[in-house]
């Protein structure tokens, strides 16, 4: 998938209205619902010359810092602000301050919060707004104020993209070469060169994709000049370490041929061209959308797994459902099995693009399902030995980003950074069968990650377990542990007991 496919008129329709054109100040007490709706609309404003912000990029406070709001109240004499701070399920605090205040301290705890702000005059609400903010969990390294420039509604610049992926703990960053732009100016991409240097420094793998159905690359495949074109692009960009052959060739949106056409007409000449232009570079290929066993089987039989150094996957789930039940897990398991069967045993698998939206009408997507599913995706991919990437990590297009450039961090930004930090340096040991329907438990060195795919469940414990959820809230339980859709990171027990969860290894 790519944001570049949106027509300009569609993009304009989705961008929030400028403040000058915004709707009148919201007088409802539910202004936060506007920010979570499935249709993007003008954000509610307080009015009366009063504005509230955090002074932090993305409204994110790094781990260990004290959050606060900054208030500007130009015409607010005699008025007050009533603030209701909420997390996922509870009201964390209710605060009152003069509208003329300059700073209002917020609860000092990690997590993601929304603040309903009501401007009141003589006890009557005359305007309301809502603000999202996050506080990093201990051990995470997210500090958006330290990022390079290049924030954009359609996605960040290459340099910023690399830095952001590193902060959130994603080991894969995928960028794209626009073939028509290259042909118009066949020179090195300075932005990619800088991003490659930073990626190497930060330990992130930068993958650059060539081909996604544009007229220039489609014509090159048709007339047989594709290999020569790829060789020119790779030779012009020697800093790039990984090159990926085409975007989602199993979809008519990006490729009009068959799986056989992809392997023989796209991948084979692509791999030869990359190796001829830069023997040090690695070839990434496959890159099919979602669970498509038929494509991958043909890919394997025709030698696709042998041609590549790295298998690329885009394990989106159908209808944006849960990663365990709607395609992601089955896709990765299928690709691994077929790779082993057809000459790709031991080759790395990179998730170069996948994600979950936070507000997609009719699918049940919410800020919280996005956060839970993204966090669980990371756990599942770590368990399967797949390196995780993320689509549209910062942007507003169709609400894929974990950071909204206009509204700030979403719960997913806190959840994925916490999950990445908790799993850092821990080897996967296997699965634990709790014998509770819908509950999954992944065993890593010194840590068990447990969650439910089917509502809230209770799991029996053999000893006292402690840890945290994906938002930094502490967890401690003795006889039974309550498990929901968000992963819990649990320690406890001894090596012999292999953790505190009752059950058996699976």
pTM here is 0.92
Q: Which residue, among 369, 377, 371, 380, has the nearest Cα to 441 in the 3D structure?
A: 380
pLDDT at 48: 87
Report strand pairing: 60-61 vs 124-135. parallel
Query: What does the H/E/C string look like for 357-387?
Result: CCCCCCCCCCHHHHHHHHHHHHHHHHHHCEE
**E strand spans, 74-123:** 80-86, 91-98, 103-105, 111-121
Confirm if 21 and 40 have CB atoms less than 8 A apart.
no
Q: Which residue, among 188, 257, 250, has the nearest Cα to 221 in the 3D structure?
A: 257
User: What is the C-alpha separation between 323 and 315, in angstroms, rounded?
Assistant: 9
pLDDT at 37: 81
Q: What is the DSSP letter of 42?
A: P
CATH 2.60.40.1080 fits 24-135, yes or no: yes
pLDDT at 1: 59
Q: What are 466's two structure tokens?
A: 């402690």
User: What is the C-alpha separation between 87 and 471, in angstroms, rounded?
Assistant: 10
Query: What does the H/E/C string look like for 427-496?
Result: CEEEEEECCCCCEEEEEECCEEEEEECCCCEEEEECCCEEEEECCCCEEEECCEEEECCCCEEEECCCCC
Choose the CATH number for 428-505 among 2.60.40.1180, 3.40.50.20, 2.60.40.10, 2.30.130.10.
2.60.40.1180
428-505 has the same fold as 24-135: yes
Q: Which residue, among 402, 394, 446, has the nearest Cα to 424 in the 3D structure?
A: 446
Per-residue pLDDT of the chain (506 residues; tens, 9 = 90+): 543 332 222 222 222 323 332 333 334 458 998 888 877 678 888 988 899 999 999 999 999 999 999 998 766 678 999 999 999 999 999 999 998 889 999 999 999 999 999 999 999 999 999 999 999 999 999 999 999 999 998 899 999 999 999 999 999 999 999 999 999 999 999 999 999 999 999 999 999 999 999 999 999 999 999 999 999 999 999 999 999 999 999 999 999 999 999 999 999 999 999 999 999 999 999 999 999 999 999 999 999 999 999 999 999 998 889 999 878 999 999 999 999 999 999 999 999 999 999 988 788 899 999 999 999 999 999 999 999 999 999 988 888 999 999 999 999 999 999 999 999 999 999 999 999 999 999 999 999 999 999 999 999 999 999 999 999 999 999 999 999 999 999 998 655 555 789 888 87
Give the helix, strand, coil percentages of the chain, each rounded to 5: 30, 25, 40
pLDDT at 15: 29
Provide CB contacts within 8 A for 190, sequence distance 6+: none
pLDDT at 78: 84
**Domain range list for the chain:** 24-135, 171-347, 428-505
CATH 3.40.50.2300 fits 171-347, yes or no: no
Q: Which residue, among 196, 164, 163, has the nearest Cα to 177 in the 3D structure?
A: 196
Backbone φ and ψ for 458, nearest 5 degrees, come out as -115, 130
């Amino acid at each position: 998938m790519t944001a570049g496919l949106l027509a300009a008129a569609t993009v304009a329709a989705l961008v929030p209205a400028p403040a000058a054109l915004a709707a009148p100040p919201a007088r409802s007490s539910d202004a936060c619902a506007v920010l979570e709706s499935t249709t993007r609309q003008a954000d509610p404003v307080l009015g009366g010359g009063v504005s509230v912000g955090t002074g932090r990029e993305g409204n994110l406070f790094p781990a260990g810092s004290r959050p606060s709001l900054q208030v500007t109240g130009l015409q607010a004499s005699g008025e007050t602000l009533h603030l209701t701070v909420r997390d996922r399920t509870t009201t964390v605090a209710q605060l009152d301050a003069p509208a003329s205040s300059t700073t209002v301290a917020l609860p000092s705890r990690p997590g993601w919060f929304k603040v309903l702000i009501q401007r009141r005059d003589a006890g009557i609400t005359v305007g309301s707004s809502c603000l999202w903010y996050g506080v990093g969990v201990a051990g995470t390294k997210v500090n958006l104020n330290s990022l390079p420039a290049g924030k954009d509604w359609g996605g960040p610049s290459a340099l910023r993209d690399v830095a952001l992926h590193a902060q959130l703990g994603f080991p894969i960053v995928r960028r794209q070469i626009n073939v028509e732009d290259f042909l118009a100016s066949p020179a090195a991409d300075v932005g990619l060169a800088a991003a490659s240097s930073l990626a190497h420094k930060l330990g992130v793998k930068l993958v650059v994709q060539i081909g996604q159905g544009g007229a220039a690359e489609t014509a090159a495949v048709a007339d047989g000049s594709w290999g020569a074109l790829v060789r020119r692009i790779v030779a012009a960009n020697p800093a790039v370490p990984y090159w990926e052959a085409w975007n989602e060739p199993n979809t008519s949106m990006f490729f009009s041929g068959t799986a056989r056409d992809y392997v023989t007409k796209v991948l084979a000449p692509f791999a030869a061209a990359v190796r001829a232009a830069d023997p040090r570079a690695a070839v990434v290929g496959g890159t099919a959308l979602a669970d498509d066993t038929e494509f991958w089987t043909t890919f394997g039989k025709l030698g696709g797994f042998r041609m590549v150094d790295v298998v690329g996957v885009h394990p989106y789930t159908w209808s944006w459902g849960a990663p365990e039940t709607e395609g992601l897990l089955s896709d990765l398991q299928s690709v691994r099995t077929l790779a082993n069967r057809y000459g790709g045993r031991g080759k790395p698998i990179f998730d170069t693009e996948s994600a979950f939206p936070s507000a997609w009408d009719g699918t049940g997507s919410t800020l919280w399902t996005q956060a839970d599913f993204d966090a669980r995706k990371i756990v599942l991919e770590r368990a399967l030995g797949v390196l995780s990437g993320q689509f549209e990590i910062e942007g507003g297009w169709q609400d894929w980003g974990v950071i909204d450039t206009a509204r700030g961090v979403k719960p997913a930004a806190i959840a994925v950074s916490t999950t990445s930090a908790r799993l850092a340096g821990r080897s996967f040991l296997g699965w634990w069968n709790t014998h509770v329907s819908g509950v999954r438990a992944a065993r890593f060195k010194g840590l068990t990650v447990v969650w439910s795919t089917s509502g809230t469940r209770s799991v029996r414990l053999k000893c006292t377990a402690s840890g945290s959820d994906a938002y930094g809230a502490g967890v401690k339980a003795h006889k039974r542990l309550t498990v929901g859709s968000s992963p819990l990171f649990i320690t406890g027990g001894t090596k012999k007991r292999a953790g505190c969860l009752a059950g058996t290894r699976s």
